[in-house]
Amino acid sequence: MRRDIFQAIADPTRRAIIALIAIHAMTPNAIAEQFDISRQAVSKHLRILTECELVNQEYQGREIYYQLEIKKMKQIDKWLEQFRKNWEDRFDALDNLLTTMKGK
């Protein structure tokens, strides 16, 4: 069964891994050092992220480096865009209400 990107980012550990490798490519061992879970658990998360094409692997000698796939992240951003205008309108309305209440 093929997972989609939203299933991948549903897990907080996978979101944390994405945040880590967004800065720079990392090996699985370097990623695992950042978490209080087993190396095997990190490997499972990396496999899911790879299946969803949110990360890609780059081989450098005997090491595998995982890096973020920006194009896939843009798909998430594009999906969220439909909600941004609604959120901004609501925040503006709340700001206006608070300003009005503060003036009274």
> What is residue 73's predicted lDDT score, i.e. its pLDDT?
87
**What are the tens digits of pLDDT across the range 1-36?**
567 888 899 999 999 999 999 999 999 999 999 999
User: Mean pLDDT throughout 25-49?
Assistant: 95
CATH at residue 47: 1.10.10.10
The string of pLDDT tens digits covering residues 52-91 is 999 999 999 999 999 999 888 888 888 888 898 888 989 9
- For residue 28, the enclosing domain spans 5-103
How far is it, in rounded angstroms, from Cα 35 to Cα 11? Answer: 14
Count of domains observed in the chain: 1
C-alpha span between 20 and 27 (Å, rounded): 11
What does the pLDDT read at residue 38?
92
